[in-house]
Structure 1
Amino acid sequence: MKKNMLCTIAVLLAVLFAACKKSADTPGTATIESTQAAKVHGYIIGLGFPAHTIVDNGNEYIVEGDIIFPKNMEVPGGVKTEQYYTGSLVSATNVTNIRLYVDTSMTSMASEINSAIAQWNGISGCTIHWTVVTGAPFDVTITNYNLGSGVCGQGTFPSSGNAGNLIRINKSYIAGNSFAQRARTICHEMGHNVSFRHTNWSAIGESTATDVPGVGGTDASSIMNGGQCGSGATVLSAKDIQAAVALYH
């Protein structure tokens, strides 16, 4: 009897040790999340954004005030040199039908959203095409978000051939702007969703950006100029249009 009891205790101890060892060797969720965040952080630096300009915002990183990098995003690989300034383009298949879901918090700005869409869809010789959808499946969500004072909107860059999946609009902050300026903010953030950096990155002290092939130089009339909420150009400039065609033709 004593011998059987000792055998039972030995087996239990062996099982307990094996269980503890397995638990100790298995990476925890926090470790996995930390590793993924580090990959995204490294990717952002690889795009040319200095480390000190990257703001940790919980589940995401923010750079240049209005560009979002979710920490759980799929980090693109095999980036072509001419795409380096954004890291990735929307694929030829996906760019022809970018489905935009308008959150209920943004339905009051439906006219501004449609105006912004009309600008991108109206570029001759360019395959960028946005459509509004009322439910899943969708590619991008536009929603109201309190971004505090000084930030009118935010958008995400493309990843793995998909358009950046989020646009945040600081609706109360831009409410006093003209219709054209409100639509401009939305149009600007949509530009980030399809890869555009701020055209005036150098003048406003942002990290180095690579010119779109064949469409370099500054452009005071660009809708993609940063830091101009409420005062910037309200229509795509000639160079904005040239750049869109160069990237998506």
Structure 2
Amino acid sequence: MKNLLKKIAVMALLSAVMISCSKKNDISTDPETETTQNQKVLAYIKNLGFTDAQIVDSGDNYVVDGDIVFNKKMEVPADYGKAITEQYYNGYIVTNSNNIRVKIDPSITSMTSEINSAINQWNTVPNSKIKFVITTGTVYDILIKVDNTIGGSTCGQAYLSTSNGKAGNTVWINQALIQNNSFAQRTRTITHEFGHTISFKHTNQSTTTNVPGVGGTDAQSLMNGGQCGSGATVLSAKDKQATAVLYPL
């Protein structure tokens, strides 16, 4: 009888271990783990200066301040709680800033001229090493494509640069919304979204602090948010100055 009871106890223990292991390994379907990850991402976003009112849950992503996108599965930087004292940006510089490869998705080839014009704005900033290049290959840093489901008055969306030195890897353009805008305004939308991919936040975000030596407000900044179809169409003097500070030659 004792041996039988021992066997039953061992079998029960093994069963419990197997169930425990299967739950631990199946992270993707564990609601508790998913909730914890979402909370970490939300805490990181708020640390960047965004408020609850600016954060929208959009399925797999959080969309912030209208067009800045954070994936819920993103790797949250371990040092995100440290104070950031620079304006316009999230604290993470793109490592290969002199060769940022842009892939044009077939959905947006009709706007290739606007894309090239936007790239030219960033590539010609004085005293900056920023250089976007168009690639047709399978290896790229940023994919730009159409997404007409963004909705509302949002012209486009983009991921911010990441803590591992990579550019935000996707730009979405609401082509249906901006197709009747002027060429300059369509270019403005793309230029603005590329700015997010290299770490720039919205200049008119009230909680944002200063890039060293580039303080004050800037009504002419192309990186001002909430100006779809009506904002500045060229990088302002301060936009260029901030770019040169963050990405100097």
Give the TM-score category using the shorter length: 0.7 to 0.9
What's the counterpart of residue 120 of structure 1?
A: 122
Which of 1 and 2 has greater Rg? 1
Structure 1 position 80, deviation (Å): 6.4
Per the alignment, do residues 127 and 89 of structure 1 end up closer, same or farther by CA in structure 2, a change over 3 Å counting? Answer: farther
Relative to the length of structure 2, the TM-score reads: 0.87
What's the counterpart of residue 240 of structure 1?
A: 239
1:188 to 179, 189, 192: 192
Instruction: Tell me how far apart the structure 1 counterparts of residues 139 and 8 of structure 2 sit (CA, whole Å).
Output: 51
Secondary structure, in 3 states, of the residue corresponding to 1:99? strand
Instruction: Tell me how far apart the structure 1 counterparts of residues 65 and 53 of structure 2 sit (CA, whole Å).
Output: 11
What's the counterpart of residue 90 of structure 2?
A: 87
Instruction: Tell me how far apart the structure 1 counterparts of residues 42 and 109 of structure 2 sit (CA, whole Å).
Output: 34
2:14 to 11, 18, 43: 18
Secondary structure, in 3 states, of the residue corresponding to 1:81? coil
1:152 maps to a residue whose letter is C
1:175 to 161, 176, 179: 179
What's the counterpart of residue 205 of structure 1?
A: none
Secondary structure, in 3 states, of the residue corresponding to 1:19? helix
User: 1:76·1:88 contact (CA, 8 Å) conserved in 2?
Assistant: no
Instruction: Tell me how far apart the structure 1 counterparts of residues 223 and 88 of structure 2 sit (CA, whole Å).
Output: 14
What's the counterpart of residue 132 of structure 1?
A: 134
Structure 1 position 135, deviation (Å): 3.1
What's the counterpart of residue 64 of structure 2?
A: 63
Question: Deviation digits for residues 21-74 of structure 1, max 9, x if unmatched?
Answer: 342364342233332222111101111212243111111111100110111112
Secondary structure, in 3 states, of the residue corresponding to 1:96? coil
Structure 1's unaligned 5+ residue stretches are 203-207
Structure 1 position 86, deviation (Å): 3.4
2:108 to 106, 109, 128: 106
Instruction: Tell me how far apart the structure 2 counterparts of residues 229 and 163 of structure 1 sit (CA, whole Å).
Output: 23
Could you tell me the percent identity over the aligned residues?
48
Tell which deviates more after alignment, 71-80 or 225-234: 71-80
Structure 1 position 101, deviation (Å): 1.4
User: 2:56·2:64 contact (CA, 8 Å) conserved in 1?
Assistant: yes
What's the counterpart of residue 223 of structure 1?
A: 222
1:219 maps to a residue whose letter is D
Relative to the length of structure 1, the TM-score reads: 0.87
Question: Deviation digits for residues 137-186 of structure 1, max 9, x if unmatched?
Answer: 21111111121121101111111211111111001100000111101100
Structure 2's unaligned 5+ residue stretches are none
Instruction: Tell me how far apart the structure 1 counterparts of residues 143 and 86 of structure 2 sit (CA, whole Å).
Output: 24
User: 1:73·1:159 contact (CA, 8 Å) conserved in 2?
Assistant: no
Number of matched residues? 238
User: 1:47·1:84 contact (CA, 8 Å) conserved in 2?
Assistant: no
What's the counterpart of residue 210 of structure 2?
A: 211
